[in-house]
């Protein structure tokens, strides 16, 4: 079986990189944690870090507490 081979030049591919279509995910893309979206554990960790940073900014005079090893 023989098929048609499509060949793109470098300039065209670099121009496609900036296209709005290339920056939006397909509408029917499944939500797979860690692959097509952030893993749930990553989201929880991000929230914890955000809260920690907000608490540190709210109390600039205190030294940050670290857990003992």
Q: Residue 37: CB partners within 8 Å, gap ≥ 6?
A: 31
Verdict on whether the full-model pTM lies above 0.85: no
Q: Provide the residue-wise pLDDT of the chain in tens; the chain has 69 residues.
A: 678 999 999 999 999 988 888 888 788 888 887 787 776 666 677 788 888 888 877 766 655 555 555
- Whole-angstrom Cα distance, residue 66 to residue 7? 57
Where are any strands of DSSP class E within the chain?
none
- Whole-angstrom Cα distance, residue 58 to residue 68? 23
- Whole-angstrom Cα distance, residue 10 to residue 8? 7
For the chain, what's the residue count?
69
């Amino acid at each position: 079986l023989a098929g048609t081979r499509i060949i793109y030049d470098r300039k065209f591919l670099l121009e496609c990189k900036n296209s709005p279509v290339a920056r939006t995910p397909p509408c029917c893309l499944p939500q797979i944690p860690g692959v097509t979206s952030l893993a749930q554990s990553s989201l929880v960790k991000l929230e914890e870090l955000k809260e920690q940073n907000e608490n540190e900014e709210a109390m600039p005079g205190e030294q940050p507490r670290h857990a003992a090893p």
